[in-house]
Amino acid sequence: MIINVENLTKKFGNFIAVDNISFSVVEGEILAFLGPNGAGKSTTIKMLTTVLKPTSGRIEINGYNPVIKKDKARHSFGIVFQDSSVDDELTAYENMMMHAVLYGLPRETRQKKIKDLLEFVELLDRKNEVVKKFSGGMKRRLDIAKGLLHRPKILFLDEPTQGLDPQTRNHIWEYIRKTNQEEKMTVFFTTHYIEEAEKSADRVVIIDQGKIIAIGTPSELKAQAGKDNLEEAFIELTGSVIREEKADLNRDVMKRFRR
Amino acid sequence: MEVIYILWLRQIKRYQRSKARVIGSLGQPLLFMVAFGFGFGPIYQKAGEGNYLEFLVPGVIAMTILFSSIFAGLDIIWDRQFGFLKEMLVAPVSRLKIMFGRCLGGATTAVFQGLIVLLLSFILGFRLANYWLIIPAIVVMLLIAFAFTLLGTGIASMMKDIQGFQLIVNFLVMPLVFLSSAFFSLKDLPGIIMLIMKANPLSYGVDALRGILIGLNTFGLLYDFTILLSVVIIFLIAASYFFSKIEAD
């Protein structure tokens, strides 16, 4: 198991964002964390990637506990955050170089790897342009290229294709799947697009209000819910009540509270 | 080492690319030199104290460095808002290196601003007895810059929004400048003002710069250096602590 999570909980004050969840991910697998807004997807990914400290529970990333062995765990994964994490005032190439140095890529291979990845995300011809001038989709592609640069064993993607057009979305997934197959890179991604989970993931974890509701392959989930498409199965399993406003409100309140 | 270098380089590049900010931030020092230098000049001269512009230039340089250094902290808050801070904080490198690289970069650009002010002062008629004096002056500028970059970084590490940072900094920056020896000489002052000025680290930076650039020194250069270096070390420890406490989220 490359990711192992046992009884993981995260509380912000009285608000339980992630409620005692357990799951594991096999090496080379593509796993989708599917859930409505405010379900606890991002909080989970933040705990797995050393951004947030869990309130309780155990995590193992590539054999390391990210709370204690932060740097070892950090070497094992790449992450594409929900919001872009590129430096607007640097060029695409400089952003990649910064990442290469931060992750200790050997000097000899840096330039070639950066060039290859920029070529793949079709930004090579604009590598010397300051990122400020890029569109949202271009920035997203750069984010993903950055996340892949140090060939991580695990790639975390937090809502990777949100706000992207279908062409870009397809293109990005093509590359992620290719890397996944060629290098046995494990992929953990969160999404609220059902079709993205169904199309790209080997297994899907459905999470709602901080709790895991179901885990399985898309066809298993459909069978479990007795529905013939994943969208109906998802609604069957999570209920059809729109609760995201409340969840979002809670998050807002928490944000203010933490300031 | 390379991590420190790349973060230093990043600050330099950002500085180079924000020409508007660079030019904008030179307006104030220029105004001080022109208005105060020429405005108070005759009175100062009549009092038998010599050339006020000459007296003022080291102070204005120190002030420029102070502004530009403290606002290096603002960059951290920008990085937080634009998401780039996360990229640095989840990378497998120590926080100390990240902070050190950034602060060195911030200090370098602040010294650069100080040197531009020195050049501007030449246009206004300021002269150095010996141009080699610029080298020890740069050392002092670096100490001032590093101390206040660290201070700005420490404050910014505790803040999440720009307004909060600006509020605190405004409460800090103006007193630091006006209650230092930047514009006045430290003699014949009421006891309490004197005490405050002596407690202000910027006074020692100004005193050292004045000693080097125009040969007018109150505390002795060695004493100034010792105080500046101690302040750098204290601020370094404090800023490292607060920077290590930043949550990436």
Contact A85 B87 (CB under 8 A): yes
Average pLDDT, stretch B13-33?
Answer: 89
Exposure class string for A20-55: b at 16+ Cβ within 10 A, else e: ebebebeeebbbbbbbbebbbbbbbbbbbbbbbebe
Contact B87 A83 (CB under 8 A): no
Question: Is B184 a residue whose pLDDT tops 80?
Answer: yes
| Residues of chain B neighbouring A85 (CB-CB closer than 8 A) | 83-84, 86-87
Interface list for A 45-64 with B (CB within 8 A): 46, 49-52
| Residues of chain B neighbouring A97 (CB-CB closer than 8 A) | 6
Q: Give the model's pLDDT for residue B149.
A: 97
Task: Please state, in angstroms and rounded to a whole number, the distance separating the CA atoms of residues A12 and A258.
Answer: 8
CB A161, CB A105: distance < 8 Å: no
DSSP-based three-state secondary structure for B225: helix
| Residues of chain A neighbouring B13 (CB-CB closer than 8 A) | 89-90, 94
| Residues of chain B neighbouring A90 (CB-CB closer than 8 A) | 10, 13-14
Alpha helices in B158-217 (DSSP H): 162-178, 191-199, 201-214
List the one residue out of B209, B208, B210, B152 whose CA is nearest residue B176: B152
| pLDDT digits (tens), chain A, 259 positions | 899 999 999 999 889 999 999 999 999 999 999 988 888 998 999 999 998 899 999 999 999 999 998 888 998 999 999 888 999 999 999 999 999 999 999 999 999 999 999 998 889 999 999 999 998 888 988 998 999 898 889 999 998 887 788 888 888 888 889 889 988 999 999 988 888 888 889 999 999 889 998 899 988 888 887 777 787 788 877 776 655 444 444 454 455 444 4
Greater model confidence, B227 or B88: B227
Contact A83 B83 (CB under 8 A): yes
Exposure class string for B41-56: b at 16+ Cβ within 10 A, else e: beebeeeeeebbbbbb
Domain segments of chain B as ranges: 2-244
CB B142, CB B103: distance < 8 Å: no
ipTM of the prediction: 0.88
Q: Token pair of A180, please?
A: 């996944």
Greater model confidence, A120 or B60: B60
Task: Please state, in angstroms and rounded to a whole number, the distance separating the CA atoms of residues B243 and B249.
Answer: 14
Contact B91 A103 (CB under 8 A): yes
Residues in chain A: 259
Query: From the candidates A72, A101, A107, which should be mutated to test the interface with B, based on the most B CB atoms within 10 A?
Result: A101
- Highest mean predicted confidence (pLDDT) among A192-206, B77-91, B98-112: B98-112
Contact A99 B3 (CB under 8 A): no
Q: What is the CATH number of the domain that holds A103?
A: 3.40.50.300
| pLDDT tens figures, B131-168 | 899 999 999 999 999 999 999 999 999 988 888 898 88
Q: Give the model's pLDDT for residue B142.
A: 97
Q: Give the model's pLDDT for residue A246.
A: 47
- Chain A residue with minimal CA distance to B16? A89
* Single pTM value for the model: 0.87
Alpha helices in chain A (DSSP H): 41-48, 70-76, 92-102, 107-120, 136-149, 166-183, 194-200, 218-225, 230-238, 244-258
First CA to last CA distance, chain B: 26
Contact B18 A104 (CB under 8 A): no
Contact B83 A99 (CB under 8 A): no
Task: Please state, in angstroms and rounded to a whole number, the distance separating the CA atoms of residues B29 and A242.
Answer: 58
| Residues of chain B neighbouring A72 (CB-CB closer than 8 A) | 92
Distance from CA of B27 to the nearest CA of A (A): 24
Distance from CA of A72 to the nearest CA of B (A): 7
Query: From the candidates B1, B86, B88, B90, which should be mutated to test the interface with A, based on the most A CB atoms within 10 A?
Result: B90
Average pLDDT, stretch B196-221?
Answer: 94
Q: Touching check for A103 and chain B: CB below 8 Å?
A: yes
| Residues of chain A neighbouring B14 (CB-CB closer than 8 A) | 89-90
CB B185, CB B205: distance < 8 Å: no
Q: Give the model's pLDDT for residue B169.
A: 87
Cα B232 to chain centroid distance, Å, stands at 12
Contacts of B37 (CB under 8 A, 6+ apart): B52, B53, B56, B57, B124
**Number of domains chain A is built from:** 1
Residue in A88, A101, A146 closest to B82 by CB: A88
Residue B84 host element (H or E): helix B84-89
Q: Give the model's pLDDT for residue A245.
A: 45
Query: From the candidates A43, A85, A103, which should be mutated to test the interface with B, based on the most B CB atoms within 10 A?
Result: A85
Q: Touching check for B21 and chain A: CB below 8 Å?
A: no
What is the band of B248 on the pLDDT scale with cuts at 50, 70, 90? low
Full domain range(s) for residue A187: 3-258
Tally Cβ neighbours within 10 Å of residue B124.
Answer: 14
Cα B78 to chain centroid distance, Å, stands at 20
| Residues of chain A neighbouring B87 (CB-CB closer than 8 A) | 81, 85-87, 99, 102, 146
Q: Give the DSSP letter of residue A135.
A: -
Chain A, chain B: beta-carbon pairs less than 8 Å apart? 75
